[in-house]
Structure formats: structure tokens, C-alpha cells
Structure 1
Amino acid sequence: MPELMNIESEHVMLFVDADSCPRQLRSIILKAVISRKVPVLFAADRPLPDVVDLVQNDGVKPEQLPLIQLAIVPEGMDSADDFLVEKARAGMLAITRDVILADRLATKDLVVLDDRGGVFTKETIRERLSMRNLMTALREQGVFAEKTKPLGPREIHQFANALDRELVKLQKNNQ
């Protein structure tokens, strides 16, 4: 089993909230970071066998493994989120479905992607956060029952395109 716990966040360019990231998107992320040679840090409060399996089964060469890091944080409310906020640096890229975490990361000047390919910056996240808060209030009052649409081929394609676009920008800005 490859060593994925060597956390050297000063070289990481992509931070992934792996607790909230669907398995099929983690696969896309892994393939993208390997092909573009972009260091990634997955953070979760539990082991992610699919990350290790994808590394082992997709023919990743040993010299590519330093690109992929997996941090298993202690279980607890927002433990992976807090870890990512602590490690993340301005100008980098993050992936999360969690709007509150997206706001915390965008405030640190990261570009944040959601699982549908939405791109948020500190200038654009406030609107999304306000919408989330409104929907939460409506749900709590029984006025609105939000149903998240399943992640289909269209959404996966949009995510993959947005990830590729943002990785190109990230690499260009960090040359």
C-alpha cells in the first residue's frame, strides 16, 4: 500500500474536502492531478479505500505518489474542514460541496469548485451562502423541502471541465 499520509501542504495546489466529495469525482480528480502533475491533498475523517485503490489500479508510478496525499483527521464535526482551512493557501484551488467551508476557503483567497462545476471566489461566494441560509430557514419552517438532484453524467462532465479549466489557470499563475 502506498504511503499517502506524508502531509507537506506547502507544495499542495489542490485541496479536496473528501468527506463530501462523491467517489466518481475523486476518480476524476486523481486522473487530472496525475496528468497535470498537480499536488493534491484529500482530507477526510475516515479512510478512503477508493483513493488508495485508484492509485494502485490506475498504474500510478512511484514517483507520482508524492502528488497525492490523504490526511485522515480525527472524527468530529468539521474536523476535515478545519484541517483544510488551516493548510490551504491563497491562490490555490479547493473542492467541496459544503457552502460554509467554501466560504471559509474563499475568504482565504482560494478558488473553490463545487461538485457541479460551480466556481466560487471571495467575491462570488456570499450570494451562494445567502441562498443556502435562506433555504435552510425555509426547510426549518417546513415551507420548502430541498431535494438535491442526483449527480448525473451532465453534472460530472461540467465538474470535469471546470476542474480542468481551473487547474490550467492555477498552473499558469504558479509558474
Structure 2
Amino acid sequence: MPQTDAPVTILVDADACPVKEEIYRVAARHRAHVRVVSNSPFRVPVSERVKRVVVSDGFDAADDWIAEHASPRTVVITADILLAERCLRAGAVVLRHDGKSFDAASIGNAIATRAIMADLRAGMDGVGGGPPPFSKADRSRFLQALDRVLVGMARG
């Protein structure tokens, strides 16, 4: 059984995260700790609960740090499907930037879809789009999802 008096820590895969400011606000309300993990320095709020973690620029260094620190008392914020899988195995809650969660039921399909999309992109010789633009609705869904997760973790 997780120790509910231990603080929740939010691990942020920060290099491409569009919701860092939202994370800081929600974390402050819930007294959660935040670790902003990246290959290059980001400005973070001055707070004893928010720390910047700059890792080497080695391939997957930030992912490795996050996966090594993931636990049942962490919430991981990432769009990286393979990192999400590693963190789920460690017992962490994993949210995407749009508020959708990765869980044991969805991660297999997400990995399969990722592989199919990589194959399709490889055959397009660089032609094509990418993910749809990040919207206000995505930001709102994220805020609601993070708040809901932190409330649930506080209840144990």
C-alpha cells in the first residue's frame, strides 16, 4: 500500500511540454513536488517544491532519468509512448499534455499505433503533417486531468 503522507512528485518530460506553467499552478495547489527534466535548462519558478533536472544531451537521457525515478507516488507528464510504458511498469500515473492518460489497457494499442505511423512516415519521404496543433481545449483537459489525478492520490 502506498504511503499517502509522502509527497506526490510530478516528473515532467520538459523538452516539448506545452503545459509547464499549468503544472506549476496545479502542483502548488496540491503541494506536490515537480521535477522538470530536460537536456537543456528551462526557467522554473522559485519554489522549494520545483526543481530543474538537466541531464546530459545523450540519447534518451531525460527519459532514462524519469523512468528511474518513476514510482506509485509519481505522476509523469509526457507524450513519449515508450517512456510512458516504462513509467507505467514502475507504478506511476502517466498523463499526456492533452490530458489523456496512458494506462495498462491503452499502452499496447498506443505502441502498435506508433509503430504503424513510423512505417507510414518512412514511406512518405518527409511529406506529411504531424500532430494537430495544441488547443485551448487540450490545455483545459490537461488541467482537469492533473487535478483529478492529484486529488485521487491524496485520498490514497
Which band: TM-score by shorter chain?
Answer: 0.7 to 0.9
Using the TM superposition, give the Cα deviation of residue 17 of structure 1 relative to its aligned residue in structure 2, in angstroms: 0.7
Counterpart residue number, 2:57: 75
Match of 2:93 among 93, 111, 116: 111
Q: Deviations along 1:6-26, whole A, 9 cap, x unmatched? A: xxxx8552111111212xx10
Q: Deviations along 1:49-74, whole A, 9 cap, x unmatched? A: 2x2xxx25xxxxxxxx2211111111
Counterpart residue number, 1:132: 114
Number of residue pairs matched? 150
Extract unaligned runs of 5+ from structure 1. 1-9, 57-64
Following TM superposition, the consecutive aligned residue runs of length 4 or more in structure 1 with deviations greater than 4 angstroms are none
- Please give the alpha-carbon distance, in whole angstroms, between the structure 2 residues aligned to 1:137 and 1:71: 33
Larger fraction in helix:
1
- 2:16 aligned with 1:20: yes
Normalising by structure 2, we get a TM-score of 0.88
Match of 2:23 among 20, 29, 43: 29
- 2:153 aligned with 1:167: no
Q: What is the Cα-based RMSD across aligned positions, in Å?
A: 1.8
Moved more, 89-98 or 142-151: 142-151
CA contact (8 A) 2:94 2:101 kept: yes
Change (3 A) 1:123 1:109: farther
* Other structure's SS at 1:66 match: coil
Q: Percent identity?
A: 29
Normalising by structure 1, we get a TM-score of 0.79
